[in-house]
Amino acid sequence: MIHELLLALSGYPGTIFTWNKRNGLQVSQDLPFLHPSESSVLNRLCKMGTDYVRFTEFIEQHTGHVHQQEHYSSQPSQTGLHGIYLRAFCTGLNSMLQPYRQALLDLEKEFLGDPHLSISHVNYMLEQFQLLFPSVMVVVETIKSQKIHGCQILETVYKHSCGGLPPVRMALEKILAVCHGVMYKQLAAWMLHGLLLDQSEEFFVKQGPSAGGATAAQEEEEEDLGIGGLSGKQLRELQDLRLIEEENMLAPSLQQFSLRVEMLPSYIPVRVAEKILFVGESVQMFENHNQSPSRAGSILKHQEDMFAAELHRLKQQPLFSLVDFENLVDGIRSTVAEHLWTLMVEESDLLGQLKIIKDFYLLGRGELYQVFIDLAQHMLKTPPSAVTEHDVNVAFQQAAHKVLLDDDNLLPLLHLTIDYQGKESKEASGNREGTTPPQETSPREAPPTGWAALGLAYKVQWPLHILFTPAVLEKYNVVFRYLLSVRRVQSELQHCWALQMQRKHLKSNQTDAVKWRLRNHMAFLVDNLQYYLQVDVLESQFLQLLQQINSTRDFESIRLAHDHFLSNLLAQSFILLKPVFHCLNEILDLCHNFCSLVSQNLGPLDERGAAQLDILVKGFSRQSFLLFKILSSLLLRLDYNKYYTQAGGTLGRSSFSL
């Protein structure tokens, strides 16, 4: 019977110890020579043998390394479990079973030498496994029932290894070390060669953008009128900097990667994972670019072998050390970040590229856009057509020549875009590389004017494309359209002032006084808004950005500084504050309508014109009052010399009764 027991504990049941799929190994009930106490001991041993059989079933099912026996093997279940981490877990589990197999072999030898040894001796020799197997079986059942996949297996094994039973902890730590071997191989391929070896989506780095939140509709309703207290949606726009879907605008040469956070083990902080992501992205960019060997050499400065040896050393450690792991990741990251800084700042003239962004996207070349507005006004005041884009680019080139901007290397990189109705279908076959389409004014709706559809595209040269991504350029485009609308209204109001000066010697009536006082108040608001945007926001933030770039030799610090720069532009120019932004757009529309009214009626206004003027007066008074109330807690250039305050927060109403 002892030999039958040892065979059963090895996974080979017979007539005395039978196998049942539901209950596992059991002592046969019709054995008269067994005392109840012996049956109890044997059933206890059978429970351990059942766990061993289920372990071997699990290993065989997912690796094929252990030979099952036909009399207890179950049908191949379609559990959906797969992947290299699962195979590594099975390998570690198989190694954990080796002492158990050796103990059975030793017992076989002992019983052959001394046939008088009892069942109690078997129970004594296998006591440690009676404690170990049930705890490990909990891990296996968790993986099976919850379909734990990839790096989540690391988390599951780690959590169960934190118990207070030394045999269980040591066994699970050995299994975890085997699983870590897979992670270190993936890390070496990703961080040293830019290769994402992850066919089964098990790694915590993935290709493609990170998944967005599912509560977008709810976020749309969140509003906060204070600058200091941004709503949840606005804060996410600041942090994530995604006003459009990046994956729809990626150039063919630029692959995007992100973290698969659900796969990240809890003992590896997100900050470390972000560094791993950055290193792999940078190395991958260099490996894929055909000019990188000649232009920049190895991004790791030919230290790949040293870093590979360090990763192998960590892999050989029995226990995972976060301190050693993070120190190595920091070392690789520092090497990559410094090399990128040198490449971008010194070799690719990052500061010069930022100056170009400021001059063209942020209207730093004001004289250029003043001439362009004059040239393009007639072609953009109507809904755009298929030829509008060509015409505005001709006007842009003419404006550049008029202000003596004849840079043959720069102008071909810039291209004005018009998002007219029907253009999307024509460009479905492929977008212009390095360009970004303008933000849609409304889904499937033609823009009312060419100005609303205007955008600026810029061909970003390698390797600056990792800083000026399509999504980042679209943010700049949002700011560009906003600044251009302010500048255009300011120009129209100045033109109205010129008309006023031409007629100042003529006799005027009360309506004329109302009209020119309204123009004065509109010009006051728009001029100070323009000054605030260009001086207090753009110039101030740009100087801070340059200072931060010049004070570091780390590319990640540059990227963070640039992200903060763009975030501050969007926030301080009120683009992310919907009530303020909407109010300002309403004011700009009123100003534009006023200028159109004045331009179309050079002489005294008739009754219809006076009625339109009255509507404009009341609308401007209401919107300026609302704007002042919203921003009353802020010290703004708009309240220059306390003019707003002294007027009671209302412009356009006093002495305007017709």
AA identity, residue 312 = H
* Average pLDDT estimate for 247-253: 36
The span from the CA of 300 to the CA of 308, in Å, is: 11
CA distance 196 to 274: 15
Cα gap 383→379, rounded to integer Å: 9
Q: Which of 528, 534, 576 is nearest to 233 (CA)?
A: 576
H/E stretch holding 194 reads none
DSSP per residue over 322-390, as a string?
HHHHHHHHHHHHHHHHHHHHIIIIIIS-HHHHHHHHHHHTS---HHHHHHHHHHHHHHHSS---TTHHH
3-state secondary structure (DSSP) of residue 457: strand
> Is 25 in a helix, a strand, or coil?
strand
| Tens of pLDDT, residues 13-53 | 666 666 677 766 666 666 655 656 666 667 678 888 888 88
- The two most distant CA atoms of the chain are separated, in Å, by 132
Query: 158 and 265 in contact (C-beta within 8 Å)?
Result: yes
DSSP alpha helices (H): ranges in 418-577? 423-426, 450-453, 470-502, 510-531, 540-550, 555-572
Provide φ and ψ at 280, rounded to 5°. -60, -40
pLDDT band at 228; cut points 50, 70, 90: very low
Q: Give the number of other CB atoms < 10 A from CB of residue 472.
A: 21
- Which pLDDT score is estimated for 174? 92
pTM, two decimals, is 0.65
**What pLDDT sits at residue 642?**
62
Q: What is the mean predicted confidence (pLDDT) over 585-605?
A: 79
Which pLDDT does position 185 carry in this prediction?
92
Task: Report the Cα–Cα distance between both ends of the chain, in Å, rounded.
Answer: 115
Percent of the chain with pLDDT over 70: 72
* Helix/strand/coil for 455: strand
259 forms beta bridges with 205
User: What does the alpha-carbon distance between residue 473 and residue 388 come to, in Å, rounded to a whole number?
Assistant: 22
Average pLDDT of the chain is 75
Rounded distance between C-alpha atoms, residue 414 and residue 372, angstroms: 14
The answer to whether the bond into 463 is cis (omega within 30° of 0) is yes
Q: What is the helix (H) or strand (E) element at residue 178, kind and residue range?
A: helix 166-193
322 has a pLDDT exceeding 80 = yes
What are the pLDDT digits (tens) for 202-213?
888 888 776 654
Spatial distance between the Cα atoms of 417 and 451, rounded to a whole number of angstroms: 11
What Cα–Cα distance (Å) separates residue 109 from each residue in 16, 102, 113, 115, 615?
A: 21, 11, 6, 10, 106
Q: Look at residue 17 in the predicted model and tell me its pLDDT.
A: 67
Q: Say if strands 414-418 and 257-259 run parallel, antiparallel, or are unpaired.
A: unpaired
Helix (H, G, I), strand (E, B), or coil: what is residue 18? strand
pLDDT at 72 (0 to 100): 43
How far is Cα 542 from Cα 237, in angstroms, rounded to an integer? Answer: 20
